[in-house]
Amino acid sequence: MLGLDKKDFTLLLIVSALVLLAPLLLNPFPEGSAMAQFNAGYPDLMQRFVIFGIFAIGFNILFGLTGYLSFGHAAFLGAGSYAGMWMLKLLSMNVIPAIIFSTLIAGAISFLIGWISLRRSGIYFSILTLAFAQMAFVLAASVLTPITGGETGLQPALSDPRILPEFLGGGSVTADGNIPKPSLFGIEMTASSEVAVGNWLWTLNWGYYLSGFMMLVAFYIAIRIFRSPFGLMLKAVKSNQQRMSYTGLNTRPYMLACFVISGMYAGLAGGLMAAMDPQVGAERMQWTASGEVVLMTILGGVGTLIGPVLGAGLIKYFENIFSKINKATLEVWFGVFPDWMTDLMVTIVYPFIGKGWHLTLGLMFMAVVIFLPGGLVEGGQKIAKLFSRKKEPETPGGEAKPAE
């Protein structure tokens, strides 16, 4: 089905179901309950889950298949965001031109950076990509201020031309004189429907489902790449690039194509970010953004298909939900203990939550690298094997039957 084998098609169906049901699954606790603060089913965060999932999937195509570690992918994310925003300003508030143009611009920039960076491998390649990303950040933050808006960023304005017809999202102002919102043929990305069932409240957002659909397309393409002869060639490069060169095979065109594809994924994510939140700043090109996608991929599982999506969701959950836990919340949680024990527990736990959530993430990253090199996917596989393990059948004489 769709050119996939049964296993891959099942995986695609599972990811599709998770995307479709995310507003319900991420809001497991009733509104107003003590645990409702752990709900993550609001549109802005769900959009971040799938958009950064696209970013991580693209990065994993490069790092997971070839072993080339790029510290500069934030440059393509930021370039895609700026390109998408300029399409919203010049052409139309319809998000389709923004998404297409952001992907193409990121592809062009990644071709130039990859053509230079891939002349080296290993740590030298990583440093080159980091250097290019930092140069891009400085250009966006200060040098190219007329194009990027500098430190204040770039956003739509009433003076923007938006030259396409109104039915395609053109026009500078709405009927009431306001700046139009990003939309898809008239459906605003902020438009939502709320479904209340008992004490539960679920929000179905158009912007999230568009981003989710784009992530499913990106995920499907990644599966096809992993299973294609091109993907096998990239795996061979990761295994022993020098031996392949000895056979007379020029691996550089394959590596450059992989780098461009990975950069286009980042550009697509950047374009979606601009479409969902029309405020673009240079911070999307900082080295920390590049490091974040590395963490996402390693936490989820390098070289796996669904791992980067899981890693992106985990980090964004920590950043937006776990970081909101404060000292008052801890005092309520440990309030059942005597005062001295409550104070002790709050003192111990508090450095790991709130503003210190990075410390918890760092400890988790260390544990994954040491005990689960395959990331969350490996952990899930070990748990599945633990529950599916069956007792070996015994022969009538009491001896275990040998495996065939």
Q: What is the DSSP string of 261-314?
A: HHHHHHHHHHHHHHHHS--B-GGGGSHHHHHHHHHHHHHH-TT-SSHHHHHHHH
What was the pLDDT predicted at 84? 95
pLDDT score recorded for residue 403 = 43
pLDDT at 369: 85
Whole-number pLDDT of residue 216: 97
pLDDT-derived band at 393, boundaries 50, 70, 90: low
pLDDT of residue 68: 94
Alpha-carbon distance of 169 to 162, in angstroms, equals: 8
Helix 122-138 and helix 95-117: axis angle, to 10°? 130
pLDDT classification of 321: cutoffs 50, 70, 90: confident
Q: Is 200 helix (H, G, I), strand (E, B) or coil?
A: strand
The pLDDT, as a whole number, for residue 65 is: 94
125-138 pLDDT, tens per residue?
999 999 999 999 99
Burial (0-12, 13-18, 19+ Cβ within 10 Å), 36: middle
CB 297 within 8 A of CB 288: no
What's the length of the chain? 404
What does the block give as tokens for 336? 């059942």
The answer to whether the CB of 375 falls within 8 A of the CB of 368 is: yes
pTM assigned to the model: 0.92
DSSP 237-265: HHHHHHHHHHTT---HHHHHHHHHHHHHH
Residue 50: pLDDT above 80?
yes
Write out pLDDT tens, residues 190-232: 999 988 888 888 999 999 999 999 999 999 999 999 999 999 9
CB atoms within 10 A of CB 398: 6
Q: DSSP code of 396?
A: T
Contact 77, 285 (CB under 8 A): yes
Alpha-carbon span 337 to 332, nearest angstrom: 10
Of 315, 306, 309, 298, residue with least CA distance to 375: 298
159-162 — which CB contacts under 8 Å span 24+ positions? 160/88, 160/89, 160/90, 161/89, 161/90, 162/88, 162/89, 162/90, 162/91, 162/92, 162/93
For the cut 70, the answer to whether the pLDDT of residue 400 exceeds it is no
Instruction: For residue 404, name the pLDDT band (cuts at 50, 70, 90).
Output: very low
In 3D space, the residue among 72, 82, 13 whose CA is nearest the CA of residue 294 turns out to be 72
Q: Which of left, alpha, beta for 126 (phi over 0: left; psi -120 to 50: alpha)?
A: alpha
d(CA 274, CA 270): 6
pLDDT number for residue 394: 52
Pairing of strands 192-197, 187-188: unpaired
Contacts of residue 65, Cβ cutoff 8 Å, sequence gap at least 6? 225, 226, 231, 234, 235, 237, 238, 258, 303
Is the predicted pLDDT of residue 46 greater than 80, yes or no? Answer: yes
**For residue 402, what pLDDT band results from cuts at 50, 70 and 90?**
very low
What is the DSSP secondary structure assignment for residue 139, as one 8-state letter?
I
Average pLDDT over every residue of 10-23: 94
Strand bridging mode 183-184 / 200-205: unpaired
Contact of 26 with 41, CB cutoff 8 Å: yes
pLDDT band at 174 (very low <50, low <70, confident <90, very high): confident
Q: What sign does the dihedral 132-134-139-143 (CA atoms) show?
A: negative
Fill in the DSSP letter of residue 154: B
Q: Which of 77-86, 166-175, 311-320 has the lowest mean pLDDT?
A: 166-175
Give the amino acid at 55: F
Q: Phi first, then psi: what are they for 312, rounded to 5°?
A: -65, -45
